[in-house]
Structure 1
Amino acid sequence: MPSVSQVQRIARPVLSDPPALSARGQRSLVRPPLLRCSLFNCQYNACLNQTGLLNLGVAENYGSALTGSLRLFAALRHFFGVYFDARTPVLPEHIIAGTGCSSILDALAAVLADPGDGILCARPHYNGFQPDFAYRNDVHVVGVDLPSGKEADPSSLEAFERQLAQCEQAGQKISAVLLCNPNNPLGFCYPRETLIAYCRFAEKHNLHLIVDEIYALSTYESDHPDPQPFVSILSLDPLVDAGCNPSRIHCVYGPSKDFGVNGLRLGVLVSQANPDLHVAMEANALLMKISSASVRWTADEPQEPKELELTGLPLQDVLWSNLLLDPVGLPTYLALNKSRLAEAYRRAITFLQKHAIPYRPAHAGHFVWIDLRRFLPTADVEGNRLESEAEQEVELVKRFLAHGINLGRGVAYDGKPGFFRLTFTLRPEYFDTGIRRLEEALGLGAETATDKGPTRELCSACEMSAQTKRFAISA
């Protein structure tokens, strides 16, 4: 009779071949001399490593790595283990840090896809994905229409199957599938079974799976009828859970949203089973290197350092690392942030319910998806008739701007005209001023308030196939 370990080995799925990199990625597999040498592996330190390398050949202080620092890597290992429930510990060789998630996605597109390739993503989706992938790399986001109300369901992958078949018939090569969890702009988290369905889809069609988790910890209590807890792709065992080669899985995260620091410009890629991907991305790592502090220990004895002195400009690296490693400050901050997100969300939906504006209940992110189709003007200010909803949406946006207010257009998110993303994570007094201006732009007033009750669901079962967070809200 076989032992338990033998049964587990027999039951474990067979590992498929790793997905190919793009032609550009293949060309980047030859590391430049700077990356081939031991410059970062064994550096000199007067106290800790007196036999290490002293680099007299460059005029730069690179810190401990081109793709981050040892300090940051240690902080992220702890952070992903505790808050993302990472199944496999996130090691330094799994991480590439860069100047924001847009920089990470731009570099990732270059090594995963060739010019003209497509990446599948459910509609509506974050309006920055298209420029992140397309502007420099000519890689295009191909939107997938999902059944209303089924965006988080495993059955939604049936629509991906149909879209992929259409792309193949049209000669459009698809290199990857992209998932934003929590979803931007719809404000929900994907359940574990849907993440597994995405992994199976990627494996079946030999695709990469990119998962953007930038709003991972921005969840809160709300009026959502079935809120799902955030489940990170890092918490899965892709091979065991989905029969998917883990070399396909690439997770993107950064502090911009959860920590309210868009200006810090820091993002990280976690890819735990694809060393070739790391080599290819490291070839251009200098183009998106974050600032890092040089670290010097001063002590009576090298083995027992008493003081850590940071020199240079410890901007992104040290600021974020300090918070991630703070056993009291980090959980306190995250709890306060959730509380203030819930309060800000309630403020937003109170306005929407007052004026019977349909909306999609959210429980994650900094925004709510609203339906303003009934306000779409049929003519411009000069009386010219507007035939299409797209033209009508543009005219409504012009009226918003004339009143000093801006909302995210549905078309910009590859959604239907007339839907908008309303961001509520501003200072309360700023948001209240914006709401008053929005009321004026829409021709709303106290007399238009309704007693019809909450309008949590968008018209026709949420027909939704088709920014700024200020630190004050989360500090």
Structure 2
Amino acid sequence: MSLPSGDPSMVRGQELRVWSAYTQLLESLLQLEKAIKDRVDLLIQPQRPVSTEEQDTNLGRLMRRVTTLLQSGETSRPPAASPHTPRAVGAHAQDQLQHPPGPLRVTYVSSELSNRGNDIMTLLNFSFQDFMSFLGDKFHKDENPLGFINLGVCENKLCSDLVTKRLSQKDMDLIEDTLLQYPDRRGHPFLRKEVAWFLTHYCNSHAPLDPENVVVLNGSSAVFSALVTVLCDPGEAILTPTPFYGPFALTASLYTKVHLIPVHLDSEVSEENPRPFQLTVDKLEQALWDAQLKGKKVKGFLLINPQNPLGDVYSRDSLQEFLEFAKRNNLHMIVDERYLLSVFDESVTFHSVLSLRRLPDLSRTHVIWSTSKDFGIAGFRFGALYTHSKELAAAVGSLGFLHGLSGITQYKLSRLLQDREWINRVFLPTSHNRLQAAHKYTTICLQGLGIPFLKRGSGLSIWINLRKYLNPCTFDQELCLHRRFLDHKVILCPGKACMCSEPGWFCLVFAEKLPQLEQGLFRLQQALLEQEQELTERLVANTMRE
């Protein structure tokens, strides 16, 4: 999914007003053109049963609207043109409007909405435009072989057969009064009990976790949004290493206008940086210091472990250092562990924050988990928070009034999580084997294409380096390559959507069924061959001119 670069809350101001005015003017002119054509047609064919009074009223309204927009002054100077492929802005502007510069490639404008409403629609349209294209034109081997293949959204589709079969068994079906009524805003007690047990067991907690410290909401993004809402005031910030899961930037800013301060990790290997994109406390300290110099009030530190999209799994010692950094700077430590069961390399050991015997700041350490990635049931919209602060649990739980799950869904999830035998003997061994096989298949293909990548043993995606296909190596060229993939009906997530500081990196999801994965990698290859040929032709043309 494409996401705005940097802080989504910055998509506003003069640039938005100018582009909004142009969008409204274009829409109005197109509507006026159609209305005039209809009126002319009526004059030519007066026998048509259409009300001329209604048409004349509509013409007058459109003319007044165009006049008002022209007199507003906002359209006195056109916004800068963009070289990128046009996208629709409004139902009648399909091929009329080019993307504005920077992050404003898609602008939603409605006179019925507030400025904030238009901002939200702009952000959401931009963030999910590729995914919406995919939903409307999905690949199917037989029914739609030319549809989009989505290798950009992290979903585990490898074990849907196992989960579907388990969720179809009779013990999953229950309809009773309590499931049809309003639940506890934090989630039904029976589900919170199973979540506490589940995290105690699979996070290797040294002591049983307390169900009273569990909050259940509709997705991990909802949990994160609720967390920053109760921890931060508008304009305050959360520190996070990048590249990272981009939608969190949207989630943080959408309602509460909380900023995510990036701790940029780089790919260059050196004596101080022995691993690509390595996170260190020194980098955290520097990013925090820079943010404070700019007047930002930083309230927390977000860590994703296992890391998405890099696939890194942090050691116990590293986790302890990060926790001590947070404690030293009075920061809340938010750890997203939604991939904890998706570590498929047997040589890699996952350590949960909940497994540590000594937490430097117990009441400020919070863990997010969901079944969306590990079990491949993102459609259930389930996310859980575990915090040692009952006060925070109560505050986040109060937002369950808006972000709760249905009772029937909660019951099915509780039955799924308590089935230890099925999880340990059927699901996890099969899931890990299939993830290993899909990862191996994909990395062999990447090696055959000469594409560098980070080889990790966790998660659902691979962080690949396509910098050699960019000339010059800029984010504009990264976007052009992303567009070329879309032309070939394959979706990857560009690095800028993950706030990567280096252009040319892409996130490729491999946890896909084999027919789609094969076809998606083939389309990727074709797009890169086309890109390579164009770069060669450009180089030859430049040489000839010289």
TM-score by length of 1: 0.70
Partner of 2:421: 328
Distance 2:181 2:457 in 1: 43
Partner of 1:122: 241
Query: Residue 367 of structure 1: CA displacement?
Result: 0.4
**Contact kept in structure 1, 2:187 and 2:400, CA below 8 Å:** no
Paired letter, 1:216: L
Residues 319 and 155 of structure 1: is their aligned pair in 2 closer, same or farther, counting only changes over 3 Å?
A: closer
Distance 1:435 1:96 in 2: 40
Residue ranges of structure 2 left out of the alignment (5+ in a row): 1-176, 532-546
1:27-85 CA distance string (max 9 Å, x none): xxxxxxxxxxxxxxxxxxxxxxxxxxxx9xx9x7124x221122212212221122111
Query: Residue 428 of structure 1: CA displacement?
Result: 0.5
Partner of 2:280: 156
**Contact kept in structure 2, 1:152 and 1:194, CA below 8 Å:** no
**Out of 383, 401, 406, which is 2:486 matched to?**
401
Partner of 2:386: 270
**Contact kept in structure 1, 2:215 and 2:386, CA below 8 Å:** yes
Please show how residues 14-413 of structure 1 align to structure 2 within 5 Å. 61-63=181-183, 65-146=184-265, 148=267, 150=273, 156-221=280-345, 228-239=348-359, 244-272=360-388, 274-292=389-407, 314-315=408-409, 317-331=410-424, 332-376=426-470, 378=471, 389-413=474-498
Q: Percent identity?
A: 33
Superposed CA RMSD: 2.4
DSSP-derived class of the 2:491 partner:
coil
1:107-143 CA distance string (max 9 Å, x none): 1110111111111111111111101111111111111
1:226-271 CA distance string (max 9 Å, x none): x5311111111344xxxx1200100000000000001000000000
Distance 1:155 1:257 in 2: 23
> Mean alpha-carbon deviation: is it higher for 87-96 or for 210-219?
87-96
Residue ranges of structure 1 left out of the alignment (5+ in a row): 1-54, 293-313, 379-386, 446-475
> Mean alpha-carbon deviation: is it higher for 262-271 or for 321-330?
321-330
Query: Residue 375 of structure 1: CA displacement?
Result: 1.2
**Contact kept in structure 2, 1:147 and 1:156, CA below 8 Å:** no
DSSP-derived class of the 1:121 partner:
strand
**Contact kept in structure 2, 1:152 and 1:189, CA below 8 Å:** no
Does 1:439 pair with 2:490? no
DSSP-derived class of the 1:270 partner:
strand
Query: Residue 88 of structure 1: CA displacement?
Result: 3.2
DSSP-derived class of the 2:366 partner:
strand
Distance 2:203 2:530 in 1: 43
Residues 155 and 371 of structure 1: is their aligned pair in 2 closer, same or farther, counting only changes over 3 Å?
A: closer
1:162-217 CA distance string (max 9 Å, x none): 11111111101100000000000001211001110111011100010000001111
**Contact kept in structure 2, 1:154 and 1:194, CA below 8 Å:** no
Distance 1:78 1:347 in 2: 35
Paired letter, 1:181: N
Residues 90 and 120 of structure 1: is their aligned pair in 2 closer, same or farther, counting only changes over 3 Å?
A: same
Paired letter, 2:383: G
Distance 2:279 2:529 in 1: 41
Query: Residue 421 of structure 1: CA displacement?
Result: 0.4
**Contact kept in structure 2, 1:154 and 1:193, CA below 8 Å:** no
Residues 337 and 155 of structure 1: is their aligned pair in 2 closer, same or farther, counting only changes over 3 Å?
A: closer
Query: Residue 221 of structure 1: CA displacement?
Result: 2.4
Does 1:423 pair with 2:501? no
Paired letter, 2:301: V
**Contact kept in structure 1, 2:266 and 2:277, CA below 8 Å:** no
More helix by share: 2
DSSP-derived class of the 2:262 partner:
strand
Residues 153 and 245 of structure 1: is their aligned pair in 2 closer, same or farther, counting only changes over 3 Å?
A: farther
**Contact kept in structure 1, 2:266 and 2:278, CA below 8 Å:** no
Q: Rg: which structure is higher?
A: 2
**Contact kept in structure 1, 2:311 and 2:456, CA below 8 Å:** yes
Distance 1:371 1:100 in 2: 30
**Contact kept in structure 1, 2:438 and 2:510, CA below 8 Å:** yes
Distance 1:154 1:220 in 2: 21
1:328-375 CA distance string (max 9 Å, x none): 211120111011000000011011110111000011100000000111
**Contact kept in structure 1, 2:368 and 2:386, CA below 8 Å:** yes
Paired letter, 2:241: A
Residues 155 and 284 of structure 1: is their aligned pair in 2 closer, same or farther, counting only changes over 3 Å?
A: closer
Please show how residues 448-463 of structure 1 align to structure 2 within 5 Å. none
**Contact kept in structure 2, 1:188 and 1:228, CA below 8 Å:** no
1:375-395 CA distance string (max 9 Å, x none): 12x4xxxxxxxx661110111
**Contact kept in structure 1, 2:281 and 2:321, CA below 8 Å:** yes
Distance 2:241 2:521 in 1: 30
**Contact kept in structure 1, 2:311 and 2:459, CA below 8 Å:** yes
DSSP-derived class of the 2:182 partner:
coil
DSSP-derived class of the 2:420 partner:
coil
Partner of 2:30: none
Distance 1:177 1:152 in 2: 21
Distance 1:160 1:347 in 2: 36
> Mean alpha-carbon deviation: is it higher for 139-148 or for 111-120?
139-148
1:404-438 CA distance string (max 9 Å, x none): 01111011111121100010111101010111111
Query: Residue 155 of structure 1: CA displacement?
Result: 7.0
How many pairs does the alignment contain? Answer: 349
Distance 1:83 1:92 in 2: 15
Paired letter, 1:435: L
Distance 1:324 1:357 in 2: 39
TM-score by length of 2: 0.61
Distance 1:291 1:86 in 2: 29
